[in-house]
Structure formats: C-alpha cells, structure tokens
Chain A
Amino acid sequence: MTPDGSLLSAEGLHKTYGATPALDGADFSIHPGEVVAVMGPSGSGKSTLLHCLAGIIQPDSGTVRYGPHTLTGLTDVQRSALRRSDFGFVFQFGQLVPELTCLENVALPLRLNGVKRKDAERQARTWLERLEVETVGGQRPGEVSGGQGQRVAVARALATAPRVVFADEPTGALDSLNGERVMSLLTDAARDTNAAVVLVTHEARVAAYSDREIVVRDGRVKDMLAGLI
C-alpha cells in the first residue's frame, strides 16, 4: 500500500508536449477492487494521466506511487518489469498480435512472465471461457469479430492476475450490446480478483460500471466525491 492507504496514487503530475500542457498538477488515487472512471473532454489529458499512472511515460514532475514503489523513481527496465507482472492493459484497438491465435495471445503475457507453455495455455483457456469466447481460441484476431477480439484482449489483460487494469476506451469500437457485455465481464472479473481498474472513457453508460468518477479538465483532476483535489 502507498502511505495514504491506496494501491496506486499520483501527486502533482505535470506533463507537457512541446508548448502544450497535457497535465497541470494532476492528483489521483485508487484502492484495491475499485473501478474509477476517468472522464473529461477530448484532449483534456485523460490518456496522458493513464500512461503516467501505468509508468508508460514519465511525467515532467510529480510522483506516482504504487504499493511500496515510487514508480516515477524507477528505471525504464524496472517499470517495464512491474507493468508485466502487476498491470494489465485494454485499449480500443490493435492490441492483439495478429500472427498469434487468440489463445496464444492470452497466453503471451504469462509466457513472458516465465509460465510454461502448457500451463499458460491452460490458464488462457480458462480466461477465454470466462469471457465467453472459448470458441475462438484457435482463430487469429483478424478472423474474429470486434466484440470477440475485445473480449480476448480483456482475457489477456486479466490472465496474469494484475493488481491494476488500465482500460483506455475499451468499448470505443464496439456496439452498445457488445460494449456493455465487455464492461460487465471486465468489472466482474476485476472485482472477483480484487484488481483495481482505471477506466478512461467518454461514454457515460460505460462510466456507470465504475464505483466513482474523476473528471480531467485542462490537465487537472477533479474527484467528484471530494471536490477539487
């Protein structure tokens, strides 16, 4: 846990791209098992916040803490290792490796963490069943529908039992019915495993699957429960 008892927290994040500030003193915190929706207009800094929290990019200043680690103080290699072992990711598009089957895609992060092929594929199969796409295990991502592909991506994000799942517009390319099913399966699975979910979305019906929402506007974060933090 971080000093304030949260699983992942950020303080005073600043990030500028050229002359454009993307984050301007953003704060954030999330607890285990909590689903937090990150909302706000396009270009407000939502995705930059997610990338800083996940250690994908380094902020210009400010601190990100994850459990006992100060993420912003780690090297690139250390942050990569932590992302692989503790974090899961779901994006809107293009996250599955097209040359691998769906089963191999889900098994991939387990294999990268040193799990033997047979065990990795057994676990992957369980996750595909849980996400209701066990029938597409032998197919490649290009051969399945958008909704099926996104469920495979969610299975892959959850296969390593991550403590935090980062989802950036995970239903952005899906129709309402598929989007809702993906959200339902994602949040159920995350709650069952006590994983926290940072969910970037501009869709209110997707945000309604969260426990609370924050709003990013002009690079600053407003926690709707606590007012401006």
Chain B
Amino acid sequence: MSIGHTLLGLLESGPRHGYDLKRAFDEHFGHDRPLHYGQVYSTMSRLLKHGLVEVDGVEAGAGPERKRYAITDAGVTDVAQWLARPEKPEPYLQSTLYTKVVLALLTGRNAAELLDTQRTEHLRLMRGLTERKRGGDLADQLICDHALFHLEADLRWLELTAARLDRLAEAVRT
C-alpha cells in the first residue's frame, strides 16, 4: 500500500495536522497495523519536498510546533493518477485495492470505475496465462493454473466489493 498516496487522499477533504492524519489513517486502514508517528512525519516531509502538499499553518504550543498540511493541485492530480492506474496483479493485493476503493469513496471519485479498470487488468493477465497454458507442457499448465486461481480469487473480491459499494460508501462516510 502507498502510504504517501493514502495520506494525500485523506488531505483532499481539508487541511490536517500530522496527528489528525494518523488518526484518520488508523481509523480507515490501520485496523491491524496502525501508522507510527515517524512514518507520518517522514512521509509528509517527502510530500512537501515534491510539492504535493504545503504547510497551511503552524501552531505554537507547549510542545513542538504543530504544522497543518494542505494538499496542492499537483497532489490532487497525483492521487487521481494513482487511483486510476490499475495495480499489477500479485498476491495480497487486496490491501492496496481496499485502500484505493475507500479513498475513491471518501474523495467522491468513481469507485466502480476503479474496480472495472482493475478487473480488465486482471483479465488481461489471465488471458496471457491461458494462452501460455494452451501451448505449454504439463509443468507450464500447473504453474499457470496456480496463478490463474489466485487472480480469480482477486476478481471474485472485486465483484463482491462492486456489489457492496453503496454499503461501503455509507460506512466510510459516517
């Protein structure tokens, strides 16, 4: 999963402090693996350096200064491109795909479109494997079958998620 893109996406609804970003990330995506503060601040430094976020304000307090970050136009474009780009099909992809779907819903983008694009990418790979299998020996067939069954499992998840988008949208927006 791309933490940078995820944090950028969370900033689309409005500027946030690093702490708020961590809390929003953990709430939506960090069920079994909350983000460390260090990861938030190192990621924000990188995004600042690349002009994808800017410092919207600094609040002085008893502790260290608290920076509030805002996404830039370049950052919004970067998120949009990431969401639109299908992932290379590979095992354990669901955590990235889940993140993309939730972010698309949170930012008012078309999550069904994202799932359709990913399905096409999966099927493209499956066609290649099927073709290889048809011309291959038994070892080739078994290797391709293994990959095909994994890709098929991903596709079933894509279908089920597509069928539950309305419910997921309600859940993430409340």
Contact = CB atoms under 8 A, between A and B. Distances in A.
A184 B132 CA distance: 12
Contacts of A41: 159, 162-163
* Best-buried of B126, B127, B162, B163 by chain A (most CB within 10 Å): B127
Interface string A55-68: 00000000000000
Interface in B133-169: 134, 148-149, 151-152, 155-156, 159, 162-163
* Best-buried of B130, B134, B151 by chain A (most CB within 10 Å): B130
B27 interface: no
A209 interface: yes
Contacts of B148: 205, 208
A200 B149 CA distance: 20
A224 B113 CA distance: 10
Contacts of A210: 127
B116 A222 contact: yes
Interface in B113-131: 116, 119-120, 122-123, 126-127, 129-130
Nearest to B133: A180
* Best-buried of A205, A208, A210 by chain B (most CB within 10 Å): A208
Nearest to B154: A204
A159 interface: no
A215 B123 CA distance: 12
Contact of A215 (B116, B127, B152): B116
B79 to A, nearest CB: 21
A213 interface: yes
Given A41-B159, A41-B163, A205 B120 contact: no
Interface in A157-189: 184
B123 A213 contact: yes
A106 B129 CA distance: 32
8 contacts: A204-B122, A204-B123, A204-B155, A205-B148, A208-B130, A209-B130, A215-B119, A224-B123
Interface of A: 41, 184, 203-205, 207-210, 213, 215, 222, 224
Given A204-B126, A204-B151, A205-B148, 17 more contacts: A41-B159, A41-B163, A203-B152, A205-B126, A205-B130, A205-B149, A205-B152, A207-B123, A207-B126, A208-B123, A208-B126, A208-B130, A209-B130, A213-B123, A215-B119, A224-B116, A224-B120
| 4 A-B pairs with the lowest CB-CB distances in the bound complex, closest first | A208-B126, A208-B130, A204-B155, A224-B120
